[in-house]
Chain A
């Protein structure tokens, strides 16, 4: 199953158009010297300092580092949840910092998927309804939504649990539904913040395999994780310390 739009850029270097029709290189995200500073009563706190990073289509990136090093903050900036306080952040060639809140929401809805440590499924909706929800918000016609939801449930192996509520699912099953939800609108980029943080090793392994498959099917993947085994599955491993990227390694 295709998890992205048919117009999927190859992994490296092809030029394509941004939303204004300008020809840009094939990067999904281009972050240049981005920083994020939080004003606090006791003084400003620099969560991310001077990070430069590019994400190409079908990249598989892991971000590691000790607690408080700025991993999640960096992830949120890459996902256009929080704008950087300094630097330039381009998403498919568009400067995110100049977009209104509404346009950033639309961008997240259609082009970025999020998977959270705590799943954040809506407890009053079934698994299928949770997956349908972003499609409904993106004004996808009903028949198409239903078909896409069915495909995604099949993709994550939960067809039989379509009508179950989150309280009736295990942790691993909930995370699979969350991944399916994140893929609902065929985003080019999937961001996962400690996706196996609340799961046991075996279940975490299943989720990791699923994420590998998503990436292999053409979706760029950025994972924030403490888990070395999960990080080793990526092609690029970024180590962060004190808000900066300390080192970047390629996985074998």
Chain B
């Protein structure tokens, strides 16, 4: 009987204990797996979302995130200048504001408002029904939530009161035609969004501050790539700040995302310590209860390494069994935790906190393997240094 077979028989000899050990490892393993998914999940998800918009550069007036700093002046002209660069496929200027759609609910529907000026036909949204806005027309596209709450369909006419600055305003409502229902990539689950051309937004904002944008979004040519485009735009407009998607994600990571990275690290350490403690205690107590048997085996000629291998295999079996169970358990737990965290206000609907990547699974396996080794160290020391004769004597006396 080899060490694995012997270890298996030792474990099933005490089925309740072995089962509890496996379940304990499964529970902490599930949490461990989720923390590994969380550590990079938000970054991966955000990066995916940014890339899915089709734009891989963002140009702002300062290094503040889009919407948090001063506006880019002469935005439309600069958008066209950028679009003419060889390394750039297209560019869109975007301005953020808020609006009150005077329709639907008793006092209207508050929405976020976007004004765009594109160098080409593409806009940063996807039309679901109807058609996109036409240039130079007082048309808007709305998202599903806005359409539902304001009871709008393509072709509806609606009055809209914009709010463009932080301070108190009393702008007059402006009529718009709904040309289509669209999906916006950064919409939150319950968010309401309206989009129009930048010129129409300037008009809705009182006619002042036209030709300004919060950000110019740029899509690089495939042949050039984002790094070449970043360099070209920076050379063309040195007074502005250019950021690739990767840099944007790095900034998110250093800022708001860092909490999740840290809690992931702390909980990873806690779960591993817990698992080591659990397995060490289980094995140590189990061994202490069969010291006589082990001493007898040594007296019969079993080598020190053989009894060590038996203990190590017990640790591997418990951790391995628990580890296997931890994967589906961790998956289910991740779904539940993701659902909780996605309720944080302002989180886009398409962003996830727990994202599977193969490297997380590899790290999970490695960490559990390390746990099996570390947890077995003390029990191994006990059996390796067991004084055979003294133990046999003690067993008789005891």
Contacts and interface: CB of A to CB of B under 8 A. Distances in A.
A and B touch in the complex (CB under 8 A): yes
Interface of A: 72-73, 76, 79, 81-82, 101-102, 105-110, 112-114, 116-118, 120, 122-125, 129, 132-134, 136-138, 181-182, 185, 193-194, 197
Nearest to B304: A101
Identify which of A72, A110, A137 gathers the most chain B CB atoms within 10 Å of its CB: A137
A137 B306 contact: yes
Contact of B389 (A73, A117, A124): A73
Contacts of A114: 296, 299-300
A197 B392 CA distance: 14
A116 B10 CA distance: 21
A109 B300 contact: yes
B303 A102 contact: yes
Contacts of A117: 396
Nearest to A125: B9
A105 B302 contact: yes
B317 to A, nearest CB: 14
B358 interface: no
Contacts of A72: 389, 392-393, 396
Contacts, number: 83
Given A106-B301, A114-B300, A120-B293, 12 more contacts: A81-B388, A82-B388, A105-B302, A107-B301, A113-B300, A120-B295, A120-B296, A122-B297, A124-B13, A129-B1, A137-B306, A181-B300
Interface string B277-307: 0000000000000001101111111111110
B12 interface: yes
Contact of A133 (B1, B13, B298, B392): B1
A114 B13 CA distance: 24
A182 B303 contact: no
Contact of B301 (A73, A82, A105, A125): A105
Task: Identify whether the interface residues of B are mostly helix, strand, loop, or mixed.
Answer: helix
Contacts of B392: 72, 76, 81, 116, 193
Contact of B304 (A105, A120, A122, A133): A105
Closest 9 CB pairs of A and B: A109-B301, A120-B296, A124-B13, A108-B301, A76-B389, A105-B303, A124-B9, A82-B389, A114-B299
Interface string B254-293: 0000000000000000000000000000000000000011
B219 to A, nearest CB: 67
B105 interface: no
A105 B12 contact: no
19 contacts: A72-B396, A76-B389, A76-B392, A81-B298, A102-B303, A106-B303, A107-B301, A108-B299, A109-B300, A110-B301, A120-B293, A123-B293, A124-B12, A132-B1, A134-B302, A137-B301, A182-B300, A185-B301, A193-B392
A124 B314 CA distance: 14
A136 B302 contact: no
A82 B388 CA distance: 8
A112 B388 contact: no
Contacts of A73: 389
